[in-house]
């Protein structure tokens, strides 16, 4: 399975583009998995392959309010990557601006780890996996706020998480992203709600700085990184990405 992660600062249009690529691939009868819905039939079919363990039940019960218990999967993740959750919690403590935001960031982070654990159990299947809010993009939640860009810990994180085969990075000017966020009104990213324009712009700038740092750190890895510029239409961008993926 080829995994493809879309990333970019909030408002860059990554989810919109990913949805267009998903639609085009399905139209062409290409086997494709939608990562944005981790509780779909595809993911549900892989639960049985995960070995039960109850080591970290307290993490789920204390910090997370899911409708069902993920602690068995979380235990396996921590067994394989024992440094991952402590690193995430350490960084969340630096960037979270309230206890409520700390819980939200932790939930998002562990949810990302769980999704990838499920995916790894199905990675032998054929097809293309389109990832929105994957571990690369989730780093914005872990290492960035309006005043902090915690690049010191990012390499440890990158070394710990499963990386995609292909990264699609949207290069969109900060001013354009900021205007798109304003245009979304009530559908703004949760991290940016009730923020001043100065705070929002600073968060976007720090996010872009972190993503550029990650991109530079991945050079030399066996990962295809493709940049999509703002002056490329959604139709042309979709066509370009579909052609890239169908040639792999």
Percent pLDDT > 70 in the chain is: 73
Phi-psi region of 246 (alpha: psi -120 to 50; beta: other; left: phi over 0): alpha
Rounded CA gap, 78 and 70, in Å?
12
CA angle (234 as vertex; 230, 238 as ends), nearest 5 = 115
**Which pLDDT belongs to residue 117?**
63
* Per-residue confidence (pLDDT) for residue 37, from 0 to 100: 53
Q: Check: pTM over 0.85? Answer yes or no.
A: no
Domain positions in the chain are 2-246
- pLDDT tens digits along 131-163: 877 888 888 888 888 888 888 888 888 887 778
Count the neighbouring beta carbons within 10 Å of the beta carbon of residue 45: 12
pLDDT band at 208 (very low <50, low <70, confident <90, very high): very high
On average, the pLDDT of the chain sits at 77
Q: Which CATH code of 1.20.58.340, 3.40.630.30, 3.40.50.620, 3.40.50.300 fits the domain covering 2-246?
A: 3.40.50.300
Q: How far apart are CA 43 and CA 54, in angstroms?
A: 21
From 111, 109, 107, 116, select the one nearest 65 (Cα to Cα): 107
Run of H or E including 168: strand 166-171
Which helix (H) or strand (E) segment holds residue 209: the answer is helix 197-218
Residue 112 has pLDDT above 90, yes or no: no
Structure tokens at 45: 């079919």
**Contact of 204 with 9, CB cutoff 8 Å:** yes
| 67 has pLDDT over 60 | no
């Amino acid at each position: 399975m080829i995994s493809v992660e879309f990333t970019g600062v909030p408002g860059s249009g990554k989810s919109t583009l990913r949805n267009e690529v998903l639609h085009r691939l399905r139209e062409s009868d290409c086997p494709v998995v939608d990562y944005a819905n981790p509780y779909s039939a595809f993911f549900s079919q892989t639960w049985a392959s995960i070995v039960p363990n109850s080591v970290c039940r307290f993490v789920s019960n204390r910090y997370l309010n899911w409708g069902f218990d993920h602690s068995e999967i979380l235990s396996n993740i921590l067994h394989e990557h024992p440094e991952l959750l402590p690193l995430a919690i350490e960084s969340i403590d630096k960037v979270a601006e309230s206890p409520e935001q700390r819980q939200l960031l932790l939930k998002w982070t562990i949810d990302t780890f769980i999704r990838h654990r499920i995916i790894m159990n199905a990675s032998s299947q054929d097809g293309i996996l389109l990832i929105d809010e994957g571990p690369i993009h989730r780093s914005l939640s872990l290492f960035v706020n309006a005043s902090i860009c915690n690049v010191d810990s990012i390499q440890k994180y990158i070394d710990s998480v499963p990386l995609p085969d292909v990264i699609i990075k949207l290069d969109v000017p900060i001013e354009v992203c900021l205007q798109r966020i304003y245009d979304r009104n009530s559908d703004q990213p949760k991290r940016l709600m009730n923020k001043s324009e100065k705070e929002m712009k600073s968060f976007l700038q720090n996010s872009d700085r972190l993503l550029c740092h990650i991109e530079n750190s991945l050079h030399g890895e066996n990962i295809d990184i493709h940049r999509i510029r703002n002056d490329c239409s959604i139709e042309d961008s979709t066509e370009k990405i579909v052609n890239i993926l169908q040639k792999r």
